[in-house]
Structure 1
Amino acid sequence: MEDLGELRYFLGIEFARFHKGILMHKRNYALELLSELGLTASTAATTPMDYNIQLTSRQFNEHVKKNQTTNDLIENQVAYKKLVGKMLYLTMTRPYIDFCAQTLCQFLQDPKKSHMEVELRVVKYVKGQPVKGVLLSSNSGNRVSAYCNADWASCPQTGRSVTGYFVKIGELVAF
């Protein structure tokens, strides 16, 4: 057996130790994603997704008879699907973009240009603070906190409620 020293990089996650604890982040991955998409010169977004945006599927639009244009669909659906997968991988150290990534996953079958615009906005939001990650605090306690939220009938396609929850053990915080 050989001692490899202090952990710095494992499975694409970078680790940084300091007095508050251990910070897990994916700075290099986020910067590579920005350069791959050609967004290094763009301005960073202040929020990951517009609060009032109503994303709908192509089938829903055809059923309701609004925005019934074929120009709205993306020609290269593979690029959309790859970007959603990369965003899902990024959520391991950035839980605050998880809702956006899961929302965009609902439209993998027939993505539209509006979905791609939201996806690029999330990446621009990541550009604002590429070193953000999860802090594993050295002052952890045994306290368990749970939070939940429900938005009644907010899904425009199905009319179902959207529910989310977050469980916190000790002082695990997004940094």
Structure 2
Amino acid sequence: MNQRKYCLELLHEYGPLGCKPLSTPNEQNVVIATEVSDKDPLLENITYYQKLVGKFIYLTMTRPDIAYFVHCLSQFMHKPLFPHLKLAIHVLRYLKLSPRKGVLVENEGNFQLSAYVDADWAKASSFRKSVNGYCVYLGNSLISWKSKKQNVVSRSSAESEYRAMSNVATEIM
């Protein structure tokens, strides 16, 4: 399953067709700005940003590779800064590299359910909450995935991982 046509329309509408494609949805170890400053001003036209992130959210139905970055961008829908738009354009340039990527559902007869979980302990300094993500496979086919900020502040990485596993087990059941 893929959304190639939707992805190409998105690229055409938001214009990075002339840009060089990128091999990753984000640069490594980038800290997303949360406060307004001279270096990081508020966007004047927030509807442009909101529409773009909304289209990214729809695209995550078949593109789990961008789910975490869309999760990060969607937290700033009401007060987006210039660096947030810059990251969104980076994601667009990543999509340009492979617009037909998607989820492969295989018919192999293996119905073993398996899940993988990871948590990033207190990643964002502004809210100090951990972000966890998971993916669930039926055989070799990816059937569910999610990236979410935890509801409470964890005191350690072990507690963060435990909460992530607990949340996934609850959602699978």
What is the TM-score with the length of structure 2 in the denominator?
0.77
Is residue 25–residue 132 contact of structure 1 (8 Å, CA) maintained in 2? yes
Aligned residue among 136, 153, 156 for 2:125: 156
Higher helix share: 2
Does residue 48 (structure 1) correspond to residue 25 (structure 2)? The answer is yes
Is residue 57–residue 110 contact of structure 1 (8 Å, CA) maintained in 2? no
Match of 1:30 in 2: 7
Is residue 56–residue 157 contact of structure 1 (8 Å, CA) maintained in 2? no
Aligned length: 143
- Alpha-carbon deviations, 1:29-61, whole Å to 9, x = none? 111111111211211111001221111323xx5
Is residue 146–residue 167 contact of structure 1 (8 Å, CA) maintained in 2? yes
Is residue 120–residue 132 contact of structure 2 (8 Å, CA) maintained in 1? yes
Match of 1:90 in 2: 59
- Structure 1: gaps of 5 or more residues: 1-23, 62-67
Higher strand share: 1
- Structure 2: gaps of 5 or more residues: 144-173
User: Structure 1: which 4+ aligned runs deviate by more than 4 Å?
Assistant: none
Is residue 48–residue 121 contact of structure 1 (8 Å, CA) maintained in 2? yes
Supply the RMSD in Å over aligned alpha carbons. Answer: 1.7
- Alpha-carbon deviations, 1:121-159, whole Å to 9, x = none? 101101101111111102141111111111212111012
Looking at both structures, which has the greater relative contact order when contacts are Cα pairs under 8 Å and sequence separation is at least 6?
A: 1
With 149-158 and 116-125 compared, the bigger mean Cα shift is at: 149-158
What is the TM-score with the length of structure 1 in the denominator?
0.77
